Amino acid sequence: MAKGIQKLRFSFEETALTHFGGMFLFQQFCRKLDLKRLLQSYVPWTRRSNVYHSSELVMTILYTMVAGMERMAETRILPYNGYFRSLLGLESFPDSSTLRKFLKVLTFPELQGIIQVHDLLRKAMFHQPSSPSSLTLDLDSTVLPLYGWQIEQANIGYNPKKKGRPSYHPLICFDGHSRDSWHGILRPGDTHATTEIQSFWQTCLKKIPKYLYRIRVRADSAFFDHQFIDPLDEDGIGFTIVAKMTRPIQRQIQQLQYQTFREIGGWQAATFMYQPTHWKKAYRFSVIRRPKPKDDNEAPQLTLWEFNDYLYHTLVSNLSLDSPGVWHFYKRRCRAELDIRELKESFPLGKIPSKYFLANQVHFHLILLAYDLVNWFKRLCLPHPWSSATLRTIRTDLLVLPARLVYSAGRNQLKLSKEYPHQKLFHQTLSNIHKLKIR
């Protein structure tokens, strides 16, 4: 039987070892976007330092998020990672306290500047690889439980998993096709579901290109409000929104005659016209029902209401589709829930770095920017089979690679393992980055 290493001599000499060898690809993509210059040009920085420019610290935070460091404290492994420091072009790597203090001293105009850079990049990437003619926006909210009673705006509100805990209640909009984030806001935990929806939606509208001929919206029951829905209809925007199961609606759906549209599972559909109180007009409501599944764990995922051995899902829509068509259109919105899960599991959404609300807002918007940078990287630089991979998969197979940076014959050289199984992917990705033309 073969034996492992019996004796070993070691020394602490190397200055450019890393296990983030593949981050070079992401760095090249950010260079292609000219991200650092945009941050320097469009953000009105007020902080002055002889060691780090503010844009360098923002780039550092973005890179560490993509590399998989969920908390600022985890960056303590990077000061002795000479390769990571070289990627950022830094003479020394900032410690975690420097990054945390940087977030704390940022001002609201600087936050607005970071959002503006994100908007500029999103506008450019909206046309990559081609310009779409329509747009579907998926709106959703989530709850971020917090573990600190001194955190600003961390209030007790709706929190189904951690009842009684303070939380934040962010609202996020995604492009239904590309899955890019379209807009987002961080709200206190006790914010009512409909609070700030109007201003949030107006900001989303301002980002929509004028030439698009069709705009559609999908949202959950938090958006079932005439102050949100009536303006959509007046502006000619198609919508499908989950209806709140009020008693008048419950009475309506009990009296309907249903038609089977899917034999397997016994799915049935019906429709009715109804004008809720204070609404300007009647709208068409589509009702989908199916028999209760034997697995009780499946039921909450399928319905908002149950009655007489059936589970019901009711949608209000102004689209010219039959009830099954409305249902099939809406169910693609479940991708937004997966996007939020990606933000929580692969990005540090929920890992609040500070007790200050403004600092946490900046962190939230940097997470959305990092998420989109990865999304654009996948869509434009990776081969098609990899374009839908999660960031965890991309880290494992492409970004987190053991490597050594050497300087030989007047050139930098990154040495990777000859046994690395995705060498073709690495070369193809780098080639795609070099060919990329940002309009």
Say yes or no: 269 and 366 in one domain: no
Close Cβ partners of 33 (under 8 Å, ≥ 6 residues apart): 121, 373, 376, 438
Does residue 341 lie in a domain region? no
Say yes or no: 300 and 355 in one domain: no
Say yes or no: 225 and 327 in one domain: yes
What pTM was computed for the model?
Answer: 0.93
Whether the per-residue pLDDT at 303 is higher than 50: the answer is no
Residue 399's pLDDT band (boundaries 50, 70, 90)? Answer: very high
Question: Residue 439 has what pLDDT?
Answer: 66
Question: Residue 81 has what pLDDT?
Answer: 87
337 phi-psi bin (left φ>0, alpha ψ -120 to 50, beta other): alpha
Say yes or no: 235 and 322 in one domain: yes
Positive/negative CA dihedral, 237, 242, 244, 249: positive
Does residue 301 lie in a domain region? yes
Does residue 149 lie in a domain region? no
How many structural domains does the chain have?
A: 2
Does residue 120 lie in a domain region? no
Say yes or no: 318 and 411 in one domain: no
* Final residue of a structural domain among 305, 332, 359: 332
**Structural contact between residues 157 and 189, judged by C-beta atoms closer than 8 angstroms:** yes
* Final residue of a structural domain among 273, 300, 332: 332
Q: Measured between alpha carbons, how far is 221 from 250 in angstroms, rounded to an integer?
A: 15
**Structural contact between residues 308 and 274, judged by C-beta atoms closer than 8 angstroms:** no
Residue 160 phi/psi, 5-degree rounding, is -65, -30
Q: CA neighbours within 13 Å on the CB side: how many for 159?
A: 19
Question: Residue 11 has what pLDDT?
Answer: 64
What is the domain extent for residue 400?
Answer: 17-109+348-435
Say yes or no: 226 and 328 in one domain: yes
Does residue 195 lie in a domain region? no
Say yes or no: 364 and 301 in one domain: no
Q: Measured between alpha carbons, how far is 79 from 64 in angstroms, rounded to an integer?
A: 12
Whether the per-residue pLDDT at 390 is higher than 50: the answer is yes
Could you tell me what percentage of the chain is helix, strand and coil, using 3-state DSSP and rounding each to the nearest 5? 40, 20, 40
Whether the per-residue pLDDT at 302 is higher than 70: the answer is no
Does residue 177 lie in a domain region? no
Say yes or no: 373 and 320 in one domain: no
Does residue 153 lie in a domain region? no
Say yes or no: 358 and 300 in one domain: no
Does residue 357 lie in a domain region? yes
Q: How far is CA 89 from the centre of its chain?
A: 28
Mean predicted confidence (pLDDT) in 122-136 = 92
Say yes or no: 230 and 316 in one domain: yes
H/E element, 316: strand 310-317
Whether the per-residue pLDDT at 12 is higher than 50: the answer is yes
What pLDDT digit, counting tens, does each position of 352-364 carry? 999 999 999 999 9
Say yes or no: 301 and 352 in one domain: no
Packing angle between helix 23-33 and helix 357-381, nearest 10 degrees?
Answer: 100
* Listed residue (282, 283, 289) closest to 257, CA to CA: 289
Say yes or no: 391 and 296 in one domain: no
DSSP 212-265: -SEEEEEE-GGG--HHHHHHHHHTT-EEEEEPP--HHHHHHHHSPPPEEEETTT
